[in-house]
Amino acid sequence: MESNFSKVIDSYEVKTLLHSFYSLMGIKCLIKYREKTFYKHPEFRPLTDFGFKKYDENIVKQIKENRKYGIFKSKTGLMYFGVPIYIDNNTVAIMFTSPILYQKLNLKYLSGEISDFKAHQNDIVDVVKHIPCFSKEVIAKIIEYFCNISYIINKNIRTYSKYSELLESKKRLESNYNTMVKMAYYDELTGLGNCNYLKTEMKKSIESYPERSFILFHVELSNFKNVNDILGYKYGDRLLQKIGNTIRKLYSNDIVSRNYGNEFLILKKLENHKINLHTEAKYLLHSLCDVWDLDDIEVPISVSIGMTVYPKDGKDATVMMRNADIALNKAKSNGKNSYIMFENYMYDEILIKSEMEKELRKAIKNEEFELYYQPQVEVCNNKVVGFEALIRWNSSKLGWVMPGEFISLAEETGIITSIGEWVFEKACFQIMQWKNKGYDYDFISINVSPVQIRKNGFVDMIKRVIKKTGVDTNLIELEITESVVMESLERSCGVIDELKRMGIRIALDDFGSGYSSLNYLKSLPINTIKIDKTFIDGICKYSYENIIVDSIINLAHIMKLDVVAEGVESEEQFISLREKRCNKIQGYYFGKPMPCKEAEKMLEFTSLR
């Protein structure tokens, strides 16, 4: 009987059914029982390969309870389901599907459910970005379809040699083909084509008219989430319908589709090469960036647009879709109500960024990081009284990489948490070594990333490292940026208070560079403010910077705060700051960031004076 079962599964008709469904819906199949696999789509790659929870065990348990099918739903938004195949009321196999999304993917939950997410992040993202998302109604139809396939297989195992019934059943399924096509290629809410439809039409256009140019717009409604959160999904859906209809009218002779959620795609032919693409983009922005009326409720909407041109930017549909998405993300980084034309350098940046991320994840393990130390000098006597610890990365593959090139990437990917702990621990060990040698200095300043301080376990990490190194906390100063303080003043003050109770000094870094007000200083339990280099650059030019620096120093002294001027590069700047009674300076005038051994020589000289 198992032989006949294998033949049925291996038959042309069953394979055709499964392949047709994959072509329509992008869902792959795996038919197995216990350890034996009867059928597996060539591209079927479950997330269990990366340590994701074993969905199949959950589904098997449901089927053993005599359910018609089993479903595994995850908080990540992922869903698997399986349908049993019986012979004489005994389960001989289960037909599993590749994952689909019943809601937008939640990467936060995904990283929590995969045991080794960081090690495989790129591979996982590559898998999940191709996973299709369907509404509840469509998912119900898909499950019904697979139950029908299971029924067909069950009915024909004993009559393999005469599988006319299988062919008849196939015809009945094919009679619903138009319904399935509509589900696969059209958006139920707006009536527009979906991403699959636009991509198919783009492929046809390229194949039929390879020399004909077109532009692909990728449009995203920037603050759409607020509509759903504040007014509810009913109004969100209505807004999508109105905007979809507006775009359809604007581009009635072109192809318009809804991509996912709050995104739309427009494929516009460029038969007239005199069309100004920037004018076209501004026209689209002007048409969509507006206050939309929803049952007398006014809803302001902003838009970001990415654009790419065929064949200049790419010669196949997949590349064009990728390029439009890259341009959209670039536009979003420039702020709302903006558009960006794709340029090749944008893709190159992503490749470089991806390569750097891979190397960055290996850097701590490979001991590629190093701390440099820049002296802080007391203005009144020119004595070195401390250092700021600054990270440097000597990559075995990329060479020397400066912090400005990798810190933002580390913060974006979350790697900064482990890097920040390494920096703090390394600096604490260095503090202990120098103090044990009898060197005379006040403290070492250590930078803290905004991402670190937002983490609930930040203070616990500080305590853990202090206990491990045995460092005297009076020799530590932590530098935090004004931006993280201004985000949540109450929470920031709570963290700072806890650190100060441990004996740690706190400095407000890059003061004046962005958000802070002198009025906030009275609320912050800090010891030091560090004036940003942008102010120091202009203090000798009788400019506003000179007046501002003078005011900051005077007010800080009234509030009994130390002042450190950053980026001091000339004697003229030094003299001006001394006249203003600035406490300390830091900059190339007295010393660049230097390796540990050079900093130690400076301490030896200072201690002998």
| Residue 239 belongs to domain with CATH number | 3.30.70.270
pLDDT higher for 49 or 568? Answer: 568
Q: Within a domain: residue 170? A: yes
Q: Do residues 26 and 110 share a domain?
A: yes
Q: Give the pLDDT band of residue 447 (cuts 50, 70, 90).
A: very high
φ/ψ (deg, to 5) at 359 = -70, -35
Q: Do residues 592 and 454 share a domain?
A: yes
Tell me how far apart the alpha carbons of residues 581 and 379 are, in angstroms, rounded to a whole number: 8
Q: Do residues 120 and 212 share a domain?
A: no
Query: Of the ranges 131-140, 266-275, 344-353, 515-524, which one carries the lowest mean pLDDT score?
Result: 515-524
Q: Give the pLDDT band of residue 337 (cuts 50, 70, 90).
A: confident
Percent pLDDT > 90 in the chain is 46
| Residue 453 pLDDT greater than 70, yes or no | yes
Give the chain's length: 609
Q: Within a domain: residue 531? A: yes
Peptide bond into 595 cis (omega under 30): no
Q: Within a domain: residue 583? A: yes
Q: Give the pLDDT band of residue 57 (cuts 50, 70, 90).
A: confident
Q: Do residues 176 and 199 share a domain?
A: no
Q: Do residues 132 and 12 share a domain?
A: yes
Helices 177-185/12-25 angle, 10° precision: 30
Per the structure, the count of domains in the chain is 3
Q: Within a domain: residue 373? A: yes
| DSSP SS3 for 471 | coil
Tell me how far apart the alpha carbons of residues 287 and 472 are, in angstroms, rounded to a whole number: 62
Mean pLDDT, to the nearest integer, of 271-279? Answer: 77
In the prediction, which pLDDT does 475 show?
A: 96
Mean pLDDT over each residue of the chain, to the nearest integer: 85
pLDDT higher for 225 or 149? Answer: 225
Q: Do residues 400 and 322 share a domain?
A: no
Which of 288, 312, 342 is a domain's end point?
342
DSSP 41: -
Q: Do residues 226 and 169 share a domain?
A: no
Q: Give the pLDDT band of residue 284 (cuts 50, 70, 90).
A: very high
Max mean pLDDT among 143-157, 345-359, 506-520 falls in 345-359
Query: Of the ranges 32-46, 354-368, 392-406, which one carries the lowest mean pLDDT score?
Result: 32-46
Q: Do residues 158 and 211 share a domain?
A: no
Please write the tens of the pLDDT for every residue from 530-565: 998 888 988 877 677 888 899 889 988 998 999 999
Please write the tens of the pLDDT for every residue from 104-156: 877 777 776 666 656 567 777 777 777 888 888 888 888 888 888 777 777 66
Which of 133, 157, 185 is a domain's end point?
185
pLDDT higher for 328 or 124? Answer: 328
Q: Do residues 45 and 124 share a domain?
A: yes
In the prediction, which pLDDT does 527 show?
A: 92
CB neighbour class for 446 (10 Å; exposed up to 12, middle 13-18, buried from 19): buried
Q: Within a domain: residue 358? A: no
- Retrieve residue 189's tokens: 């809410």
Q: Do residues 128 and 217 share a domain?
A: no
Q: Give the pLDDT band of residue 454 (cuts 50, 70, 90).
A: confident
Sign of CA dihedral 506, 512, 513, 516: positive
Q: Within a domain: residue 349? A: no
Mean pLDDT, to the nearest integer, of 457-472? Answer: 95
Q: Do residues 307 and 407 share a domain?
A: no
Mean pLDDT, to the nearest integer, of 224-239? Answer: 89
Q: Give the pLDDT band of residue 87 (cuts 50, 70, 90).
A: low
- Provide the CB-side half-sphere exposure for 346 (13 A, CA): 19
Helices 195-208/177-185 angle, 10° precision: 90
- Retrieve residue 300's tokens: 């302001």
The CATH number for 514's domain is 3.20.20.450
Q: Do residues 130 and 227 share a domain?
A: no
Q: Looking up tokens 């900064």, which residue turns up? A: 416
In the prediction, which pLDDT does 519 show?
A: 60
Please write the tens of the pLDDT for every residue from 368-395: 999 999 999 999 999 999 999 999 999 9
Please write the tens of the pLDDT for every residue from 395-416: 999 999 999 899 999 998 999 9
Mean pLDDT, to the nearest integer, of 247-263? Answer: 92
The residues that bridge with 86 in the sheet, in sequence order, are 91
Q: Within a domain: residue 55? A: yes
The CATH number for 149's domain is 3.30.450
Query: Of the ranges 28-32, 219-223, 371-375, 401-405, which one carries the lowest mean pLDDT score?
Result: 28-32
Going by their DSSP bridges, the two strands 399-401 and 338-341 should be labelled as: unpaired
Please name which of 263, 245, 256, 305 lies closest in space to residue 280, comparing C-alpha atoms: 305
Q: Within a domain: residue 355? A: no
Which of 158, 185, 212 is a domain's end point?
185
Going by their DSSP bridges, the two strands 584-586 and 528-531 should be labelled as: unpaired
Domain that holds residue 295: 195-342
